[in-house]
Amino acid sequence: MKMNVGIVGLPNVGKSTIFNALTETAKASVANYPFCTIDPNVGIVNVPDERLYKLAEIEKSKNIVPATIEFVDIAGLVRGASKGEGLGNQFLANIRQVSAIAHVVRCFDDPDIIHVEGSVNPVRDAEIIETELILADLQSIEKRLEKSTKAAKTGSKEAKFEVEVLEKAKAILEDLKPLRTNTDKFEKEELEWLNKTLFPITIKPLMYVANIPEEDLPDGKNNPYLQQLKEKAEKEGSPVVVLCGKVEQELIELPKEERKEFLNALGLEEPGLNKMIKTGYSLLGLITYFTAGEKEARAWTIKKGTKAPQAAGEIHSDIERGFIAAEIINYEDLIKIGSIQKAKELGLVRIEGKDYEVKDGDVIYFRFNV
């Protein structure tokens, strides 16, 4: 299942530094001037999940394959992007293609790093990006509404439906509110139509990534910029991930065996990027199930609520087509017992059919016949 998170923000807030650390590459350009990133950089990142490695240890698996999530480093947006400022049209088109948004906000002072607005103000900075995304959505809604209104006059039921949905969306956007904070005003089929037809940017789930200075680690509780951003995020119901881009970059440059000691010295249990990956996974409504054996232990990504045959389809379409049943034990139960084989002998592996909704942490063996 391909799911991706677009990293957005003003120029020089640390987006490319964070992307490079996420993907452990130097693919994205990092420079002290606006628009050093033009074409979006794409990186596939492993989802950190200790359960997979414990399963592999139990089953003595020769190969380990983690779940992955894609991150896209999108060039810095500026005030006026919705009108084409700073290559805005190109960048906004890139954002429409992602599944969720990570909005990086600068929460540090540094006279050596240019701020495109001349000063650091996280709420203002976040609102600049938010407004440009709202205006971009409003333009596409108004354009489609004009077309649908003409069609509705001919008596088209489909066009009348479109006009109703578009009018709702237009009213929200004209109030300078993102669509994601007003989804309760739409019916399920209306949201589905909006997403499939117009790909609105402001309906996508969003997290804020607060880029704080090293001296404010581990939690940034004494950083006034962070507290301002958290207040804004809380009103919206958006999560905030706190990290220091500079530290995350330094961390990946260390040998893996030295990273834990480095984190401990900063009072951190894990890299901030792990939290960012996990938050992205959660924002997208994703869960993980596992397959494990001597040959391979693997994590599979599915949407919450996915039925067993469709979960099997993530492995291969033939397994979904020929699905008979799923042998399942939850990870926590398996860890207590010690092996899948022992769990089977004790009769603790249950058989589930086509209507079973796979749960996060399920360890599954699919029975199928093609």
Q: Whose CA is closest to 362, among 328, 327, 311, 324?
A: 328
Task: Say which residues have a Cβ less than 8 Å from residue 186's Cβ, sequence separation at least 6.
Answer: 165, 168, 194
Q: Check the annotation: does 12 bind a ligand.
A: yes
Q: Whose CA is closest to 326, among 307, 340, 301, 345?
A: 307
Q: Check the annotation: does 80 bind a ligand.
A: no
Q: State how far the Cα of 109 lies from the Cα of 241, in Å rounded to an integer.
A: 19
- How many residues are present in the chain? 370
Q: Check the annotation: does 165 bind a ligand.
A: no
Q: Check the annotation: does 104 bind a ligand.
A: no
Q: Check the annotation: does 13 bind a ligand.
A: yes
Q: Check the annotation: does 306 bind a ligand.
A: no
Alpha-carbon dihedral sign for residues 304, 310, 313, 319: positive
Show the tokens assigned to 319: 């397994």
Could you tell me which residues are beta bridge partners of residue 307?
A: 357
The binding site comprises 12-17
The binding site for ATP comprises 12-17
